[in-house]
Protein backbone atom coordinates (compact mmCIF):
# COMPACT_ATOMS: atom_id res chain seq x y z
CA UNK A 1 0.00 0.00 0.00
CA UNK A 2 1.39 3.41 -1.01
CA UNK A 3 0.64 6.83 0.40
CA UNK A 4 0.58 9.93 -1.81
CA UNK A 5 1.06 13.39 -0.31
CA UNK A 6 -0.20 16.23 -2.48
CA UNK A 7 1.42 19.55 -1.55
CA UNK A 8 -0.46 22.74 -2.42
CA UNK A 9 1.07 26.18 -1.70
CA UNK A 10 -1.72 28.69 -1.06
CA UNK A 11 -1.47 32.48 -1.27
CA UNK A 12 -4.63 34.57 -1.52
CA UNK A 13 -6.57 31.49 -2.62
CA UNK A 14 -9.66 31.86 -0.43
CA UNK A 15 -12.03 31.36 -3.37
CA UNK A 16 -9.97 28.60 -4.99
CA UNK A 17 -9.73 26.28 -2.00
CA UNK A 18 -13.25 24.71 -2.10
CA UNK A 19 -12.92 23.94 -5.84
CA UNK A 20 -9.31 22.77 -5.56
CA UNK A 21 -9.92 20.37 -2.67
CA UNK A 22 -13.07 19.01 -4.27
CA UNK A 23 -11.25 18.25 -7.55
CA UNK A 24 -8.30 16.67 -5.76
CA UNK A 25 -10.49 14.38 -3.67
CA UNK A 26 -12.59 13.44 -6.73
CA UNK A 27 -9.38 12.52 -8.56
CA UNK A 28 -8.70 9.75 -6.00
CA UNK A 29 -11.18 7.55 -7.87
CA UNK A 30 -8.71 7.33 -10.79
CA UNK A 31 -6.04 5.68 -8.63
CA UNK A 32 -5.73 2.02 -7.59
CA UNK A 33 -7.70 1.16 -4.49
CA UNK A 34 -4.57 0.49 -2.41
CA UNK A 35 -3.36 4.13 -2.61
CA UNK A 36 -4.05 6.39 0.37
CA UNK A 37 -3.97 10.18 0.20
CA UNK A 38 -2.79 13.12 2.27
CA UNK A 39 -3.21 16.76 1.25
CA UNK A 40 -0.68 19.18 2.71
CA UNK A 41 -1.98 22.69 2.12
CA UNK A 42 0.44 25.48 3.07
CA UNK A 43 -0.91 28.94 3.83
CA UNK A 44 1.91 31.26 2.79
CA UNK A 45 0.98 34.25 4.93
CA UNK A 46 -2.13 35.10 2.90
CA UNK A 47 -3.83 38.41 3.64
CA UNK A 48 -7.34 37.11 2.91
CA UNK A 49 -9.30 34.32 4.59
CA UNK A 50 -7.33 31.49 2.98
CA UNK A 51 -6.69 29.90 6.38
CA UNK A 52 -10.45 29.93 7.10
CA UNK A 53 -11.17 28.28 3.75
CA UNK A 54 -8.54 25.65 4.48
CA UNK A 55 -10.04 24.89 7.88
CA UNK A 56 -13.51 24.55 6.37
CA UNK A 57 -12.14 22.15 3.76
CA UNK A 58 -10.40 20.18 6.50
CA UNK A 59 -13.68 19.87 8.39
CA UNK A 60 -15.40 18.64 5.23
CA UNK A 61 -12.78 15.94 4.62
CA UNK A 62 -11.57 14.80 8.06
CA UNK A 63 -8.34 12.85 8.16
CA UNK A 64 -7.25 13.85 4.66
CA UNK A 65 -5.96 17.41 5.03
CA UNK A 66 -2.96 18.71 6.93
CA UNK A 67 -2.74 22.52 7.11
CA UNK A 68 0.65 24.20 7.57
CA UNK A 69 0.09 27.85 8.46
CA UNK A 70 3.24 29.96 8.01
CA UNK A 71 3.85 33.02 10.17
CA UNK A 72 4.70 35.23 7.18
CA UNK A 73 4.79 35.21 3.40
CA UNK A 74 8.03 33.52 2.34
CA UNK A 75 7.30 32.83 -1.32
CA UNK A 76 5.79 29.79 -2.99
CA UNK A 77 9.07 27.85 -3.24
CA UNK A 78 9.83 28.09 0.46
CA UNK A 79 6.19 27.25 1.17
CA UNK A 80 6.60 24.11 -0.95
CA UNK A 81 9.68 23.11 1.08
CA UNK A 82 7.60 23.59 4.25
CA UNK A 83 4.96 21.30 2.80
CA UNK A 84 7.56 18.70 1.87
CA UNK A 85 8.92 18.79 5.42
CA UNK A 86 5.47 18.00 6.83
CA UNK A 87 4.41 15.46 4.20
CA UNK A 88 4.50 11.79 5.20
CA UNK A 89 3.76 10.05 1.89
CA UNK A 90 5.92 7.49 0.11
CA UNK A 91 5.51 9.63 -2.99
CA UNK A 92 4.62 13.30 -3.21
CA UNK A 93 3.29 15.78 -5.74
CA UNK A 94 3.21 19.56 -5.97
CA UNK A 95 0.29 21.25 -7.69
CA UNK A 96 -0.91 24.86 -7.75
CA UNK A 97 -4.02 25.96 -5.88
CA UNK A 98 -5.61 27.59 -8.92
CA UNK A 99 -6.26 24.23 -10.64
CA UNK A 100 -4.59 25.28 -13.89
CA UNK A 101 -2.68 21.99 -13.77
CA UNK A 102 -4.85 18.90 -14.36
CA UNK A 103 -4.99 16.64 -11.24
CA UNK A 104 -5.82 13.64 -13.44
CA UNK A 105 -2.26 13.73 -14.79
CA UNK A 106 -1.08 12.50 -11.38
CA UNK A 107 -2.39 9.01 -12.19
CA UNK A 108 0.05 8.75 -15.10
CA UNK A 109 2.81 10.22 -12.91
CA UNK A 110 2.09 7.63 -10.21
CA UNK A 111 2.43 4.84 -12.78
CA UNK A 112 5.91 6.05 -13.71
CA UNK A 113 6.85 6.29 -10.02
CA UNK A 114 5.81 2.66 -9.58
CA UNK A 115 8.22 1.78 -12.40
CA UNK A 116 11.08 3.22 -10.36
CA UNK A 117 11.37 6.82 -11.53
CA UNK A 118 12.18 9.14 -8.63
CA UNK A 119 10.99 12.27 -10.45
CA UNK A 120 8.18 12.87 -12.94
CA UNK A 121 7.73 16.33 -14.47
CA UNK A 122 4.53 17.76 -15.91
CA UNK A 123 5.83 20.00 -18.69
CA UNK A 124 3.61 22.84 -19.91
CA UNK A 125 3.27 22.86 -23.70
CA UNK A 126 1.23 26.06 -23.88
CA UNK A 127 1.05 29.15 -21.71
CA UNK A 128 -1.83 31.38 -20.71
CA UNK A 129 0.30 34.49 -20.86
CA UNK A 130 0.53 36.73 -23.91
CA UNK A 131 2.78 39.58 -25.00
CA UNK A 132 5.69 40.62 -22.73
CA UNK A 133 4.85 38.03 -20.03
CA UNK A 134 5.09 35.22 -22.56
CA UNK A 135 8.35 36.57 -24.01
CA UNK A 136 9.84 36.91 -20.53
CA UNK A 137 8.91 33.31 -19.69
CA UNK A 138 10.46 32.05 -22.92
CA UNK A 139 13.64 34.06 -22.26
CA UNK A 140 13.79 32.76 -18.69
CA UNK A 141 13.65 29.10 -19.70
CA UNK A 142 16.05 29.61 -22.61
CA UNK A 143 18.64 31.22 -20.32
CA UNK A 144 18.27 28.50 -17.68
CA UNK A 145 18.59 25.70 -20.22
CA UNK A 146 21.62 27.18 -22.00
CA UNK A 147 23.46 28.79 -19.08
CA UNK A 148 22.60 26.73 -16.01
CA UNK A 149 20.88 23.32 -16.21
CA UNK A 150 21.10 21.79 -19.65
CA UNK A 151 19.01 18.76 -18.66
CA UNK A 152 15.81 20.64 -17.80
CA UNK A 153 12.91 20.23 -20.24
CA UNK A 154 11.95 23.00 -22.63
CA UNK A 155 9.29 25.32 -21.28
CA UNK A 156 8.17 25.81 -17.72
CA UNK A 157 7.16 23.30 -15.10
CA UNK A 158 5.80 23.60 -11.57
CA UNK A 159 3.73 20.41 -11.55
CA UNK A 160 5.94 17.57 -10.30
CA UNK A 161 5.63 14.09 -8.81
CA UNK A 162 8.55 12.68 -6.86
CA UNK A 163 9.77 10.03 -4.46
CA UNK A 164 10.17 10.65 -0.74
CA UNK A 165 13.94 10.38 -1.21
CA UNK A 166 13.88 13.45 -3.47
CA UNK A 167 11.80 15.30 -0.89
CA UNK A 168 14.21 14.45 1.92
CA UNK A 169 17.20 15.62 -0.11
CA UNK A 170 15.60 18.96 -1.02
CA UNK A 171 14.47 19.62 2.56
CA UNK A 172 17.94 18.74 3.87
CA UNK A 173 19.58 21.25 1.49
CA UNK A 174 17.64 24.18 2.97
CA UNK A 175 18.89 26.23 0.03
CA UNK A 176 17.93 29.89 0.05
CA UNK A 177 17.09 32.15 -2.92
CA UNK A 178 16.83 29.19 -5.23
CA UNK A 179 14.30 27.27 -7.33
CA UNK A 180 12.91 24.15 -5.67
CA UNK A 181 11.91 22.51 -8.96
CA UNK A 182 15.34 23.01 -10.51
CA UNK A 183 16.86 21.61 -7.32
CA UNK A 184 14.95 18.38 -7.93
CA UNK A 185 16.43 18.13 -11.43
CA UNK A 186 19.88 19.14 -10.15
CA UNK A 187 19.90 16.13 -7.79
CA UNK A 188 20.54 14.02 -10.86
CA UNK A 189 17.83 11.36 -10.71
CA UNK A 190 16.55 10.26 -14.13
CA UNK A 191 13.14 11.77 -14.76
CA UNK A 192 10.18 11.38 -17.08
CA UNK A 193 8.74 14.43 -18.82
CA UNK A 194 4.97 14.41 -19.49
CA UNK A 195 3.70 17.23 -21.74
CA UNK A 196 0.30 18.78 -21.08
CA UNK A 197 -1.69 21.91 -21.89
CA UNK A 198 -2.33 24.15 -18.94
CA UNK A 199 -5.86 25.23 -18.20
CA UNK A 200 -7.04 28.83 -18.16
CA UNK A 201 -7.41 30.26 -14.67
CA UNK A 202 -11.10 30.50 -13.77
CA UNK A 203 -11.06 31.91 -10.22
CA UNK A 204 -9.18 34.90 -8.84
CA UNK A 205 -6.08 36.53 -10.30
CA UNK A 206 -2.45 35.54 -10.29
CA UNK A 207 -0.16 37.09 -7.68
CA UNK A 208 2.86 36.16 -9.79
CA UNK A 209 4.00 39.72 -10.50
CA UNK A 210 6.75 40.90 -12.85
CA UNK A 211 9.03 41.79 -9.93
CA UNK A 212 8.68 38.25 -8.56
CA UNK A 213 9.46 36.81 -11.99
CA UNK A 214 12.60 38.94 -12.28
CA UNK A 215 13.73 37.89 -8.80
CA UNK A 216 13.15 34.24 -9.72
CA UNK A 217 15.24 34.68 -12.88
CA UNK A 218 18.13 36.20 -10.90
CA UNK A 219 17.86 33.63 -8.09
CA UNK A 220 17.67 30.66 -10.45
CA UNK A 221 20.50 31.82 -12.67
CA UNK A 222 22.87 32.64 -9.81
CA UNK A 223 21.93 29.49 -7.87
CA UNK A 224 22.80 27.12 -10.71
CA UNK A 225 25.31 28.95 -12.90
CA UNK A 226 28.67 30.69 -12.64
CA UNK A 227 28.26 32.16 -16.14
CA UNK A 228 27.74 35.76 -14.91
CA UNK A 229 31.03 35.76 -13.00
CA UNK A 230 32.85 34.03 -15.83
CA UNK A 231 31.40 36.56 -18.29
CA UNK A 232 32.90 39.34 -16.18
CA UNK A 233 36.30 37.65 -16.31
CA UNK A 234 36.12 37.23 -20.08
CA UNK A 235 34.94 40.82 -20.56
CA UNK A 236 37.71 42.06 -18.27
CA UNK A 237 40.35 40.18 -20.23
CA UNK A 238 38.91 41.48 -23.51
CA UNK A 239 38.92 45.06 -22.25
CA UNK A 240 42.47 44.62 -20.98
CA UNK A 241 43.56 43.39 -24.41
CA UNK A 242 41.85 46.33 -26.12
CA UNK A 243 43.48 48.75 -23.68
CA UNK A 244 46.90 47.17 -24.29
CA UNK A 245 46.53 47.44 -28.08
CA UNK A 246 45.34 51.02 -27.81
CA UNK A 247 48.27 51.82 -25.53
CA UNK A 248 50.73 50.50 -28.10
CA UNK A 249 48.90 52.55 -30.73
CA UNK A 250 49.31 55.77 -28.71
CA UNK A 251 52.99 55.04 -28.06
CA UNK A 252 53.55 54.35 -31.76
CA UNK A 253 51.91 57.67 -32.68
CA UNK A 254 54.22 59.42 -30.25
CA UNK A 255 57.27 58.23 -32.16
CA UNK A 256 56.12 58.22 -35.79
CA UNK A 257 53.87 61.27 -35.93
CA UNK A 258 54.25 64.82 -34.77
CA UNK A 259 50.51 65.22 -34.36
CA UNK A 260 49.16 63.59 -31.23
CA UNK A 261 45.47 62.82 -30.76
CA UNK A 262 43.56 65.44 -28.84
CA UNK A 263 42.83 62.79 -26.25
CA UNK A 264 40.08 64.34 -24.12
CA UNK A 265 37.12 62.70 -25.86
CA UNK A 266 38.94 59.38 -26.16
CA UNK A 267 39.99 59.51 -22.54
CA UNK A 268 36.49 60.26 -21.26
CA UNK A 269 34.91 57.52 -23.39
CA UNK A 270 37.44 54.96 -22.12
CA UNK A 271 37.07 56.06 -18.49
CA UNK A 272 33.27 56.03 -18.60
CA UNK A 273 33.16 52.67 -20.38
CA UNK A 274 35.56 51.02 -17.95
CA UNK A 275 33.81 52.59 -14.96
CA UNK A 276 30.43 51.31 -16.16
CA UNK A 277 31.86 47.83 -16.59
CA UNK A 278 33.33 47.95 -13.08
CA UNK A 279 29.98 48.94 -11.57
CA UNK A 280 28.20 46.10 -13.40
CA UNK A 281 30.92 43.68 -12.29
CA UNK A 282 30.59 44.80 -8.67
CA UNK A 283 26.83 44.39 -8.89
CA UNK A 284 27.05 40.82 -10.17
CA UNK A 285 29.73 39.87 -7.64
CA UNK A 286 27.66 41.55 -4.94
CA UNK A 287 24.69 39.33 -5.80
CA UNK A 288 26.82 36.23 -5.18
CA UNK A 289 28.34 37.68 -2.00
CA UNK A 290 24.91 38.64 -0.65
CA UNK A 291 23.62 35.12 -1.24
CA UNK A 292 26.65 33.71 0.54
CA UNK A 293 25.99 36.01 3.51
CA UNK A 294 22.30 35.07 3.52
CA UNK A 295 23.22 31.37 3.60
CA UNK A 296 25.86 31.90 6.30
CA UNK A 297 23.27 33.47 8.63
CA UNK A 298 21.37 30.15 8.60
CA UNK A 299 18.03 31.80 9.21
CA UNK A 300 15.09 29.42 8.67
CA UNK A 301 13.45 29.37 5.24
CA UNK A 302 10.07 29.65 6.95
CA UNK A 303 8.48 29.83 10.38
CA UNK A 304 5.47 27.61 11.01
CA UNK A 305 2.77 29.36 13.01
CA UNK A 306 0.42 26.39 13.38
CA UNK A 307 -0.17 22.92 12.00
CA UNK A 308 -3.77 21.70 11.85
CA UNK A 309 -4.44 17.95 11.66
CA UNK A 310 -7.71 16.11 12.10
CA UNK A 311 -8.21 12.44 12.87
CA UNK A 312 -10.06 10.07 10.59
CA UNK A 313 -13.63 9.60 11.69
Given a contact cutoff of 8 angstroms between Cβ atoms, the answer to whether 37 and 4 are in contact is yes
What pLDDT score was predicted for residue 112?
97
Cα separation, 5 vs 9, in Å, equals 13
Task: Classify residue 1 by burial, with Cβ atoms within 10 Å: 0-12, 13-18, 19+.
Answer: exposed
Has residue 220 got a pLDDT over 70? yes
Name residue 36's beta-bridge partners.
Answer: 3
Q: Measured between alpha carbons, how far is 240 from 233 in angstroms, rounded to an integer?
A: 10
Per-residue pLDDT tens over the stretch 18-60 = 999 999 999 999 999 999 999 999 999 998 899 999 999 999 9
Position 129 scores a pLDDT of 56
Q: What is the pLDDT of residue 108?
A: 96
Strand-pair category, 159-163 with 91-94? antiparallel
Return the domain boundaries, the chain.
Answer: 2-224+301-309, 227-297
The verdict on pTM exceeding 0.75 is yes
How many Å apart are CA 271 and CA 265, to the nearest integer?
10
Tell me what pLDDT residue 60 has.
Answer: 93
Residue 260 has pLDDT above 70, yes or no: no
Q: Does domain 2-224+301-309 have CATH number 1.20.1200.10?
A: no
Predicted local confidence at residue 311, as pLDDT? 64
Query: Distance between CA atoms of 293 and 301, rounded to whole angstroms?
Result: 14
Query: At CA 16, angle to CA 14 and CA 17, rounded to 5?
Result: 75
167-203: per-residue pLDDT in tens? Answer: 999 999 988 888 899 899 999 999 999 988 876 666 6
Amino acid sequence: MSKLSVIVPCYFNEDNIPVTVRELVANEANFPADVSFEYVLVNDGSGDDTIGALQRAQAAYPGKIRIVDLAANVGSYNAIVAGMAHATGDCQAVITADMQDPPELMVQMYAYWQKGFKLVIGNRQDRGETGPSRWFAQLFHWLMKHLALKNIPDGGFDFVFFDRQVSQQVVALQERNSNVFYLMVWLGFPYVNIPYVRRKREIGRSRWTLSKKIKLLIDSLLAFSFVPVRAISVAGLALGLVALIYGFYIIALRFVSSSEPQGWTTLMVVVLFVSAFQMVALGVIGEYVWRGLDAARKRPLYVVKDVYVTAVE
